[in-house]
Amino acid sequence: MTVVALVPARGGSQGVPGKNLRRIGGFPLVARAVRAANGGLRVDRVIVTTDDVEIAQVARSAGAEVIDRPAELSGATASSESALLHALDQLDEQPRIVVFIQATSPFIDPTVLDEAIRRVDEGECDVVFSAVPTYEFLWGQNDGEASGINHDPTFRPRRQDREPHFRETGAFYVMRADGFREAGHRFFGRVGVAEVDELGSIEIDTEDELRLAEAIEPLWTARHGATPRVVELDVDAVVTDFDGVHTDNRASVSADGVERVTVHRGDGMGVSLLRRAGVPVLILSTETNPVVTARAAKLGVDVIQASDDKAAALRVWAADRGLSLDRVAYLGNDVNDLGCFAAVGWPVAVPDAHPDALAAARIVLATPGGSGAVRELADRVLAARASFSTTDVVPSHDVTTTTGERR
């Protein structure tokens, strides 16, 4: 384990009641934070530390683990650092890098976060934090008299003639874990700035800022793509073909007849998130191939091979688990998937699928097979789970401390 993202999200809030569960773009703030952390390639594990049952349930549905935050670290005066240190103490394996993410910053670009992690991972900095450049003239006031802070009021050069200052956004702080433990604070050693988009630099502490963020969200989505706003898919299980779905439908064969294929790491992460959210996953293949066996074992999912009647095998698998086929998504790419398409409520095709499969699909993904198609499907399923109304959550006090779960 190298990189752990920690999201402190307590239930109480003075400025905005229930703040971490309030929605921007249809998603609770805590779910947006989890999705941003999982949206890149460098975070190995996402953990939400909370004292609140509803926040815990939303966090798990979004793909995070949950640590029960004790009451003495959940009050208005408790520092974020205390919650982070407590969470680290619960882990059975310590990370090299800690990413502190605040749910009150709803607009985090995973690519910028990844680059900040890289800078710490490669030793360029000990800490990298999110900030926006500013050319504003700042003033202080003492006994009613104002004075310039970052400028000489008698000399006001043009913007293009000045070097910027940087305003901390509070969205994320990437830190060496050992340095953070030693310092007990998020700033130590060599500190670097990760410049972020000013459009998304808002931090929510008031109702007005919440309304402003909601107004900004469509502009942010238009600029940065559909993450985290995705088309939701509300199902109870995911079944996939292998060739052409987990792969790009190509294979290399060595001189001794050994077949090799290439898979996408993002698909592995998507399957891991589905499993963590309690969504059963099955790989269903017509052929018998040790590559499929090995991949299913690595992902920790069910696998059925050598099935001449894939639809029949699918029905048995679903019945054994008490699943309604109407609530199952099947991701395929070719004519041998048509029987499964007809059996399930949600037939899904990759965009490079056979024309007959495209015609039979209820949803056609944007991502081709072998390029992250399974991850796209997983994101849609998880989005549906994260966007349920928190008012419908059944109260529960079974919030456990997760100490050993790994991706």
pLDDT band at 231 (very low <50, low <70, confident <90, very high): low
**220 & 84 share domain:** yes
Tokens of 342: 């007809």
In this prediction, residue 254 carries a pLDDT of: 72
**308 & 216 share domain:** no
Q: Is residue 402 situated within a structural domain?
A: no
Taking the CB of residue 182, how many other CB atoms lie within 10 A of it? 11
In this prediction, residue 311 carries a pLDDT of: 94
Q: Is residue 243 situated within a structural domain?
A: yes
**150 & 169 share domain:** yes
- Average pLDDT for 209-235: 77
Domain end, chosen from 209, 230, 251, is at: 230
Task: Decide if pLDDT at 394 tops 70.
Answer: no
Q: For 359-386, how does the pLDDT look when each residue is reduced to its tens digit (9 = 90+)?
A: 888 888 878 999 999 999 999 999 888 7
pLDDT band at 387 (very low <50, low <70, confident <90, very high): low
In this prediction, residue 102 carries a pLDDT of: 94
Domain that includes residue 148, residue range:
3-230
In this prediction, residue 253 carries a pLDDT of: 76
Closest Cα to residue 350, out of 338, 339, 361?
361
**208 & 279 share domain:** no
Do residues 93 and 130 touch, judged by C-beta distance below 8 A?
A: no
Q: For 108-152, how does the pLDDT look when each residue is reduced to its tens digit (9 = 90+)?
A: 999 999 999 999 999 999 999 999 999 888 899 999 999 988 888
Q: Is residue 283 situated within a structural domain?
A: yes
Closest Cα to residue 64, out of 224, 276, 334?
276
Q: For 243-278, how does the pLDDT look when each residue is reduced to its tens digit (9 = 90+)?
A: 999 999 887 777 776 778 888 989 999 999 999 999
Q: Is residue 259 situated within a structural domain?
A: yes
**204 & 253 share domain:** no
Q: Which ranges constitute the DSSP H helices of 235-372?
A: 265-276, 290-299, 310-320, 338-343, 355-360
Most confidently modeled range among 117-126, 281-290, 398-407: 117-126
**195 & 135 share domain:** yes
**61 & 188 share domain:** yes
**262 & 356 share domain:** yes
In this prediction, residue 255 carries a pLDDT of: 72
- Work out the angle at residue 23's Cα, subtended by the Cα atoms of residues 201 and 18, and round it to the nearest 5 degrees: 100
In this prediction, residue 173 carries a pLDDT of: 97
Percent of the chain at pLDDT > 70 equals 92
CATH number, position 152: 3.90.550.10
C-alpha–C-alpha distance, residues 343 and 312, integer Å: 9
Task: Decide if pLDDT at 402 tops 70.
Answer: no
pLDDT band at 392 (very low <50, low <70, confident <90, very high): very low
C-alpha–C-alpha distance, residues 123 and 323, integer Å: 49
In this prediction, residue 132 carries a pLDDT of: 94
Q: For 300-347, how does the pLDDT look when each residue is reduced to its tens digit (9 = 90+)?
A: 999 999 888 999 999 999 999 999 999 999 999 999 999 999 999 999
Q: Is residue 72 situated within a structural domain?
A: yes
Q: Is residue 396 situated within a structural domain?
A: no
pLDDT band at 225 (very low <50, low <70, confident <90, very high): low
Q: What is the pTM of this model?
A: 0.58
C-alpha–C-alpha distance, residues 362 and 342, integer Å: 10
pLDDT, mean over the chain: 86
C-alpha–C-alpha distance, residues 394 and 111, integer Å: 36
> Helix (H, G, I), strand (E, B), or coil: what is residue 13?
coil
Task: Decide if pLDDT at 388 tops 90.
Answer: no
Task: Decide if pLDDT at 404 tops 60.
Answer: no
Q: For 1-45, how does the pLDDT look when each residue is reduced to its tens digit (9 = 90+)?
A: 689 999 999 887 767 888 898 888 778 899 899 989 988 889 989
Split into its structural domains, the chain has a count of 2
Phi-psi region of 199 (alpha: psi -120 to 50; beta: other; left: phi over 0): alpha
In this prediction, residue 201 carries a pLDDT of: 92
Of 191 and 63, the structure prediction assigns the larger pLDDT to 191
DSSP secondary structure, 70-124, as one string: PGGGSSTT--HHHHHHHHHHT-SS--SEEEEE-TT-----HHHHHHHHHHHHTTS
Give the distance between the most distant pair of CA atoms in the chain. Answer: 85
Q: For 53-87, how does the pLDDT look when each residue is reduced to its tens digit (9 = 90+)?
A: 888 888 887 788 899 988 877 777 778 888 999 99
Q: Is residue 131 situated within a structural domain?
A: yes
**192 & 262 share domain:** no
Domain end, chosen from 182, 208, 230, is at: 230
**174 & 190 share domain:** yes
**74 & 193 share domain:** yes
CATH number, position 330: 3.40.50.1000
Domain end, chosen from 230, 264, 289, is at: 230
- Work out the angle at residue 104's Cα, subtended by the Cα atoms of residues 384 and 186, and round it to the nearest 5 degrees: 125
In this prediction, residue 172 carries a pLDDT of: 97
- Average pLDDT for 346-360: 88
What dihedral angle (degrees, nearest 10) is formed by the CA atoms of 254, 259, 262, 265?
-130
Do residues 99 and 85 touch, judged by C-beta distance below 8 A?
A: no
Distance, first Cα to last Cα, the chain: 9
In this prediction, residue 396 carries a pLDDT of: 33
- DSSP conformational letter for 366: S
**266 & 218 share domain:** no
Do residues 180 and 83 touch, judged by C-beta distance below 8 A?
A: no
Least confident of 46-55, 302-311, 395-404: 395-404
C-alpha–C-alpha distance, residues 56 and 210, integer Å: 21
C-alpha–C-alpha distance, residues 183 and 382, integer Å: 37
Q: Is residue 392 situated within a structural domain?
A: no
C-alpha–C-alpha distance, residues 348 and 341, integer Å: 8
In this prediction, residue 237 carries a pLDDT of: 96
C-alpha–C-alpha distance, residues 290 and 242, integer Å: 12
